[in-house]
Amino acid sequence: MSVENLKTMSLRQSLEKDLSGARAAIETRLFSIVPSAQTWPARLHEAQRHALLSPGKRFRPLLCVFVAKGIGFEGEAAIDVGCVAEMVHAASLILDDLPCMDDAALRRNQPTTHIAFDESTAILTATALLNRAFGVLSRLKNVDAEKRIELVDLLSYAVGSKGLIAGQIADLANSDANASVAEIERLNTLKTGALFDFSVEGASVLAGAESAQRAALKDFSYHLGLAFQLMDDVKDTVMTDKEAEKSVGRDVGKATILALTGSEAAMERLGAYIDSAKAAIARAKLSNDLTLNAVLDAQFSFLTS
């Protein structure tokens, strides 16, 4: 085996070790962050764990951890901020799957929370996860009060009426066949991009990133959010429930980039979003850009499968 091949193998093994180590730390923290399923009220806590601890790629926490590390911060707080993003993401999926929203029966290859339990428990579970997320931010260890306040403010904006919730309500009304690509991108930025923005900017706050880095990382999360939603739209069209690990066909009748431009143009746009995200990572001058690129490649691996 050549020296170059050995270097490539060594780099791949190092990346895999970094990723597996971070995932293990994230899973451990998520497991401890909500009460046990036996804690009263047991049904509520069982539902929380059903939604939060179901097998997932933990993409948002990984982004937070590795962006923070790339800037120079490796404290436990990065795990916690990443887990907060995962908690809010889980809460948003519970609500998104409700009969009054997308009416989905499958999520991460298991029954959605309102199917496994009931609608009222699902709504209360989402509310409990969201409230606990703010509590975790307020008690971050070894993070000064000013940064904790900034993180709470960031999350309130990401979730609120100008972020995730705005995107959800716009998506429910998303039936304009004449919508432009720019209008659809705006919706996608709110619905999907808001939590990527929080994950990445939260890491910037923790690590004390300089202004040029923060600007590049905002550009990164913006294009990542657009890529992720377009990928989701593609999966909704070409995959089965089992392949997508969730109920598909939820986008029928909605204005999406895929529906507007056709599959070939949509795939080209998806590739351009990913390229722009990677270019922004390069501009941010992080110490671990190879790791972040590997995280992205793993998330979008279905494009080459």
- Cα gap 47→54, rounded to integer Å: 11
Amino acid identity, residue 65? Answer: V
Distance, in Å, from the CA atom of 81 to the CA atom of 89, rounded to the nearest integer, reads 12
* 219 within a domain of the structure (yes/no): yes
In tens, the pLDDT along 95-114 reads 999 999 989 999 988 999 99
Q: Which domain holds residue 123?
A: 14-303
DSSP codes joined into one string, 180-228: -HHHHHHHHHHHTHHHHHHHHHHHHHHHT--HHHHHHHHHHHHHHHHHH
Q: Give residue 4's pLDDT.
A: 45
Task: Please say whether the beta carbons of 168 and 95 come within 8 A.
Answer: yes
Q: Answer yes or no: is 48 within a domain.
A: yes
Q: Which of these, 210, 175, 167, 209, lies nearest to 191 by C-alpha position? A: 167
Backbone angles phi, psi at 75, to 5 degrees: -75, 165
Q: For position 244, what pLDDT does the model report? A: 65
Residue 252 lies in a domain: yes
Residue 9 lies in a domain: no
Predicted model pTM: 0.92
Token couple for 36: 């046990």
Number of domains in the chain: 1
For 244-275, letters b (16+ CB in 10 Å) and e give bbbbbebbeebbbbbbbeeeeebbebbeebbe
pLDDT in the model for residue 262: 86
Q: Are 26 and 58 in contact (CB under 8 A)?
A: yes
Domain of 145: which CATH number? 1.10.600.10
User: What residues form DSSP beta bridges with 233?
Assistant: none
Residues 6 or more apart from 223 whose CB is under 8 A from it? Answer: 273, 274, 276, 277, 280
Which phi and psi angles does 246 have, rounded to 5°? -165, 170
The verdict on residue 8 lying in a domain is no
pLDDT of residue 6: 43
The answer to the question of residue 1 being in a domain is no
**Cα distance between residue 290 and residue 55, in whole Å:** 25
Mark the ranges of the chain whose per-residue pLDDT is less than 50.
1-7
